[in-house]
Amino acid sequence: MAEALILAVKIAIATMFVLNLAGLLTWAERRQSAFIQDRLGPNRASVFGIRLIGLLHPVADGIKMIMKEDFIPAGADRVVHTIAPFIALFPAFVAYAVIPFGDRLPIFGYDVNLVVSDINIGLLFVVAVMSIAIFGIFLGGWASNNKWSLLGALRSAAQMISYEVTLGLTIIGILMVYESVRLDEIVRAQGDLLFGFIPKWGIVTQPIGFLLFFAAAMAESKRTPFDLPEGESEIVAGYFLEYSGMKFGMFFMGEFAEIVVIAGIIASLFLGGWQIPWVTTEMLLKAFPGWLVALIQIGVFSAKVVALCWLQLTIRWTLPRFRYDQLMRLGWKMLLPISLANIFVTGLVILLLQ
């Protein structure tokens, strides 16, 4: 009974984390882009005259999208058109099932592992689940019975599978260093110290891998500079052109939820997840009660995730869009060879250090 309750709380936290952060990011992105372009951005939505610097905009947007007319264009595949946004949205939530929010802690007498499920193939599970989103986008574009949508769907499929190879190869470097596919073990191993004083974070042991992973993950999320599937100036809006109302909102939210997932994975693999540099869980447990340690670790993890989300938004508003041949050249001719070389160099260094 207690076990089921703990599980319910953990699932609620993970789901709320993704939902709320994705909602907040829709606001943060517009606000940040406004600041970058020397504007004020959305700050008008108000309840009883309270504006909260525009924080109510995501709520207003949600209500607006729910109340919009929903249509399925003539000639479209009605079933596929309807389930496509669903397929695009739900992987982001499931991926957070294996991302650890904190260490295994004694909270109120229970031994709680702060991850929804510590399955032994954690990292592979994340990669597998994330690639499901491709289906949603491709099916949505194909089912719309529209040329622009089909072009957008094709572009997104080719782009996402191209960068997925790099994504997979970069993870191998991490696996070689930490010798586990379990995300909780990888994060725990990052608490060690390298040469006695450097935290053994992924970004220290795999600096090239971090850059490769970040670039490939940005391409997976289909945002500028990799937003060719949308390309509003060439193919109007790409795969979600024939969507309206909340179905469009689901693609939109899926994109932002994916930013949160990417930030969570990068934080876990390369930035030590919930680890605080030079402070171990044992030290924290000596000083504070278990529930406070849990809050601290969740806070540290959230801070890293938010920082990485901010970085992705900044990149999105700083760089222009690639041309398609440039995109493919970057993926296949630069990132892929570098990631292969990264595996080789990582192996060599590990052998030499042994």
Spatial CB neighbours of 12, under 8 Å, sequence gap ≥ 6: none
Residue 328 binds other proteins, judged by CB under 8 A: yes
Q: Which of 28, 169, 189, 300 binds other proteins (CB under 8 A)?
A: 169
**C-beta separation of 185 from 270 below 8 A:** no
Residue 233 binds other proteins, judged by CB under 8 A: no
**C-beta separation of 115 from 146 below 8 A:** no
Please give the sequence-ordered ranges of beta strands (E in DSSP) within the chain, or none if there are none.
104-107, 110-113, 193-194, 198-199
Residue 156 binds other proteins, judged by CB under 8 A: no
Q: With respect to other proteins, which residue has the nearer C-beta, 44 or 329?
A: 329
Residue 110 binds other proteins, judged by CB under 8 A: no
Residue list 260-279, contact with other proteins (CB under 8 A) = none
Q: Which of 242, 294, 301, 316 binds other proteins (CB under 8 A)?
A: 242
Residue 315 binds other proteins, judged by CB under 8 A: no
**C-beta separation of 170 from 342 below 8 A:** yes
How many residues bind other proteins, per CB under 8 A? 87
Binding mask 32-51 for other proteins (x = CB under 8 A): --------------------
With both helix axes pointing from N to C terminus, report the angle between 78-95 and 132-143 in degrees, rounded to the nearest 10: 160
Q: Which of 112, 133, 150, 262 binds other proteins (CB under 8 A)?
A: 150
Buried (b) or exposed (e) across 102-118, using 16+ Cβ within 10 A? bbebebeeeebbbbbeb
Residue 80 binds other proteins, judged by CB under 8 A: no
Element (H, E) at 8: helix 2-36
Q: What DSSP character marks residue 220?
A: H
Q: Kindly state the smallest distance separating residue 78's Cβ from other proteins, in Å.
A: 11
Residue 97 binds other proteins, judged by CB under 8 A: yes
Residue 228 binds other proteins, judged by CB under 8 A: no
